[in-house]
């Protein structure tokens, strides 16, 4: 079998630290409100975009708080990570203070920016399965938020 060293390491990592089924179930189930409200904006009342925005802000706060917990769990009081971990909550709150048509793309940018920050700054503190799950869940949230936002635009949806 012609495996590269990199694929061997990746296989070993998956074998040693597989994605816990509960994390997969809860993570992917957490995408349901994103997709339900995004679809609802297209086929139902426009005010569902506000629900999509609110759920997005809550989940953005949650992904920031993960890092607060990771730092506490390691016993390292990293001031930079503690400080950074509250940024998603503040951005989510700000997105709730502006019109929904502005708040949804703010959340899209925030989810992407936060995932990039995680990748560049704290990836080594997260298990491989969690990094992959976070990327998939971020992609799902971004697709749903973008879809809901597009439904509000005058040239594509109900706007």
Q: What is the pLDDT of residues 93-115, one digit of tens each?
A: 999 999 999 999 999 999 999 99
CA-nearest of 35, 121, 56 to 82 is 121
The pLDDT of residue 124 is 85
Which of the residues in the chain have pLDDT under 70? Answer: 1-16, 76-77, 157-159
Contacts of 76 (CB under 8 A, 6+ apart): none
Token pair for 122:
């704290």
Helix, strand or coil, per DSSP, at residue 30:
coil
Rounded-to-integer distance, Cα 155 and Cα 159, Å: 7
The pLDDT of residue 91 is 98
The pLDDT of residue 10 is 44
User: What global pTM score does this model have?
Assistant: 0.86
The pLDDT of residue 69 is 84
């Amino acid at each position: 079998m012609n495996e590269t060293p990199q694929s061997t390491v990746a296989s070993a990592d998956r074998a040693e630290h597989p994605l816990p089924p509960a994390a997969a179930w809860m993570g992917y189930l957490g995408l349901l409100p994103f997709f339900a409200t995004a679809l609802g904006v297209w086929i139902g009342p426009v005010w569902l975009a506000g629900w999509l925005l609110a759920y997005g802000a809550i989940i953005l706060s949650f992904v920031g708080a993960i890092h607060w917990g990771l730092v506490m769990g390691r016993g390292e009081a990293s001031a930079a990570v503690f400080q950074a971990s509250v940024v998603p909550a503040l951005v989510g709150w700000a997105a709730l203070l502006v019109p929904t048509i502005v708040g949804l793309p703010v959340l899209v940018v925030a989810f992407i920016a936060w995932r990039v920050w995680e990748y560049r700054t704290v990836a080594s503190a997260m298990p491989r399965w969690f990094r992959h799950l976070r990327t998939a869940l971020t992609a799902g949230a971004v697709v749903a938020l973008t879809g809901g936002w597009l439904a509000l635009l005058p040239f594509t949806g109900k706007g």
